[in-house]
Amino acid sequence: MNRSLSSRLVVGLMAIGAAVVALPVRAESKIGIVDFQRLGVESPQGKAALESMRAEFAPRERTLQAQGQALKAKEDKLQKDGATMTEEQRQRAEKELRDGMREFERARGELQEDETARRNEEMSRLQRTLLEEVRTYAKAQNYDLVLAGEAVLYATQANDITPAVLSALQARGATAPAAATKPAPAAPTPAPAKPQSH
């Protein structure tokens, strides 16, 4: 009876072993990590977006700076000459200064609002361009999963596809953000990533 039990146990264990051996071996997933902040800063598309915003708002910033300097000069003059002014002159100078300060603060607030709205618009457009480039690269290189570097606690340098995606963005040049608002024709397949030795 004991021999029969042990025979069945051995046969059962052999069957389990055969079943485990027969299971298909799953290939390792190909995972990439990308640093979106670096892509935004170093890509020609990111640089073009930043330069476009600077050029757009520079004249207003210069005007505001000149307005601030003029107000400072008026304030200094009032402080210096206030004691020798008549009451009426002093009140008129104080009123001009207050009105100028209100106008300055209003203009500064409008500029900040406009810059914020424009920055959000540009960053949204740039983000779409970067995401599309990462997807194109990942598909072409058969990646199963690509993670944003900000969410990854640890990864080897070999998983970092940022340099390869950055190269693809540089090859496309600074025209991509404007074209990102409408679907583009099929893009050429990027060159395979060079293995990194880190």
Cα separation, 161 vs 183, in Å, equals 24
Overall domain count for the chain: 1
Neighbouring C-beta atoms of residue 7, cutoff 10 Å: 10
How many CA atoms does the CB half-sphere of 151 hold within 13 Å? 7
Residue 133: the pLDDT is 93
34-38, 81-85, 99-103, 179-183 — most confident range:
99-103
pLDDT digits (tens, 9 = 90+) for 119-152: 999 999 999 999 999 999 999 999 999 998 888 8
Q: Evaluate if residue 20 carries a pLDDT over 70.
A: no
On the 0-12 / 13-18 / 19+ scale of CB atoms within 10 A, 4 is exposed
Partners of 145 in beta bridges = 31
Residue 194 main-chain phi, psi, to 5 deg: -80, 135
Question: Which three-class secondary structure state does DSSP give residue 31?
Answer: strand
Q: Which long-range contacts (CB under 8 A, 24 or more apart) does 189-193 make?
A: 189/140, 190/136, 190/137, 190/140, 190/141, 190/164, 191/167, 192/141, 193/141, 193/161, 193/163, 193/164
Domain span at 55: 27-179
pLDDT digits (tens, 9 = 90+) for 56-67: 999 999 999 999
The enclosing domain of 51 has a CATH number of 3.30.910.20
Contact predicate 136/168, CB 8 Å: yes
What pTM did the predictor assign?
0.61
188 lies in a domain? no
80 lies in a domain? yes
Q: Evaluate if residue 4 carries a pLDDT over 90.
A: no
38 lies in a domain? yes
Q: Give me the amino acid identity at 190.
A: P
